[in-house]
Amino acid sequence: MLDTNVVLSALLWHGKPAELLDLGETDYVRLFTSQTLLEELQRSLAKPRLVARLSAIGLTSAQHASNYASLAELVIAAPLPAAVSRDRDDDHVLACAIAAGAAAVVTGDDDLLVLGAYQGIAMLRVTECLAVVAAVVERSEGWGGSQISFDE
């Protein structure tokens, strides 16, 4: 599950975060989101400081959000019963990951990263996630696939 900051980086600046979006089109990675996170993405893309970048790419904020929504599986996330993250707004990311049964939350947000894991869901930076996926892909070549585990 990708946090909104990772999705923004992938859509607007490409690089390593975009590799995760690309992996969402393979059998190795499934991406998840919620309506709340999609709305947050669209609001973030509509911020004035990103207008120039959007113009350079040639897509509107709505088009970017729609493109991401087509890659990610939409889940319905129930609110957490109590605050978990130092930033209460990040609790929806955790709730979405739980609803999805996600193996990891990929984020650049220190308020989530400091948790290390929550209910068995790893909190990883982009490069950490890519390294785990690369290792699984390398191991599975020739025998038909593997389940990704972040406990390795």
Q: Could you tell me if residue 48 is inside a domain?
A: yes
Averaged pLDDT for residues 81-95: 95
Model pLDDT, residue 94? 98
pTM over the 0.85 mark: yes
Q: Strand, coil or helix: what is 5?
A: helix
Q: Could you tell me if residue 146 is inside a domain?
A: no
Q: Could you tell me if residue 27 is inside a domain?
A: yes
- At 99-135, the pLDDT tens digits run 999 999 999 999 999 999 999 999 999 999 999 999 8
Exposure on the CB side of residue 37, measured as CA atoms within 13 A:
31
Model pLDDT, residue 20? 94
Question: What's the domain count of the chain?
Answer: 1
Q: Could you tell me if residue 118 is inside a domain?
A: yes
Model pLDDT, residue 142? 52
Which structural domain range is residue 38 located in? Answer: 4-140
Model pLDDT, residue 148? 52
C-alpha to C-alpha distance for 37 and 48, rounded to whole angstroms: 19
The candidate with the shortest Cα–Cα distance to 18, out of 27, 35, 31, is: 31
Q: Indicate the range of 11-20, 26-35, 54-63 predicted with least confidence.
A: 54-63
Q: Could you tell me if residue 107 is inside a domain?
A: yes
- At 48-72, the pLDDT tens digits run 988 888 888 888 888 889 999 999 9
Q: Could you tell me if residue 109 is inside a domain?
A: yes
